[in-house]
Amino acid sequence: MSEDWKRLYKLKILVRYSTRFEDNLNCDHESSYAANATSAAATNATKLGDFKFGMLVVFDDPMTKDNHLLSPPVARAQGFYFYDMKSTYTAWFAYTLIFNSTEHKGTLNIMGADLMMMETRDFSVVGGTGDFFMARGIATIHTDAFQGDYYFRLKMDIKLYECY
């Protein structure tokens, strides 16, 4: 691969933003989780494996700077993920972080494969608006907490780079 990319991108971190992504999946409308659900399965898993293969989940989740339940949200994560492997848990995510606070206004668009068995995973920051106009970078995530099939919390460290 050519080394020309080094002339186009400064590997200088412009923004380093740590936040928490909390997903409360409600698969059963009659369950006690229904009132607190921030996501819902749009399609059911197929019968082609034991790892929810084919299940599509749509979400609208609050983002906070720490893991306390009553922390004020700094953004919302809106998007979807689907389970895409029959032999282990993996998913593919595409979502937008929507910031509307005194600190930041705008959006970040993030997508990538979540290889859930790895300790940390990298998603691509593929664009943005407002304060994050034309953003590029990496969102590194790791699972902070999970409870069965219905709840997980991810810690996300977002690094944005300057581009010429």
- Per-residue pLDDT tens digits for 88-132: 888 899 999 998 888 889 999 999 999 888 999 999 999 999 988
Looking up tokens 């933003």 gives 17
Tokens of 34: 């229904």
- Per-residue pLDDT tens digits for 31-41: 444 444 566 67
Least Cα distance to 141 among 152, 125, 156 occurs for 156
Protein fold of 12-163: AOC barrel-like (2.40.480)
Say if residues 78 and 58 touch (Cβ distance below 8 Å).
Answer: no
In angstroms, the CA 98 to CA 96 distance is 6
Say if residues 63 and 97 touch (Cβ distance below 8 Å).
Answer: yes
Domain ranges of the chain: 12-163
List the single range of 4-13, 34-43, 59-68, 119-128 with lowest mean pLDDT. 4-13
Strand ranges in the chain using DSSP code E only, listed in sequence order: 9-26, 39-43, 56-64, 75-83, 90-100, 105-115, 121-130, 137-147, 151-163
Say if residues 107 and 132 touch (Cβ distance below 8 Å).
Answer: yes
Q: Average the pLDDT over 2-29 and give the result.
A: 50
- pLDDT reading at 141 higher than 80: yes
List the single range of 27-31, 47-51, 147-151 with lowest mean pLDDT. 27-31
**Which pLDDT does position 34 carry in this prediction?**
45
- pLDDT reading at 61 higher than 70: yes
pTM, two decimal places: 0.76
Measure Cα distances from 86 to 54, 117, 134, 144 in Å.
9, 14, 35, 24
What is the chain's mean pLDDT, rounded?
A: 76
**Which pLDDT does position 154 carry in this prediction?**
80
- pLDDT reading at 18 higher than 90: no
In angstroms, the CA 30 to CA 9 distance is 51
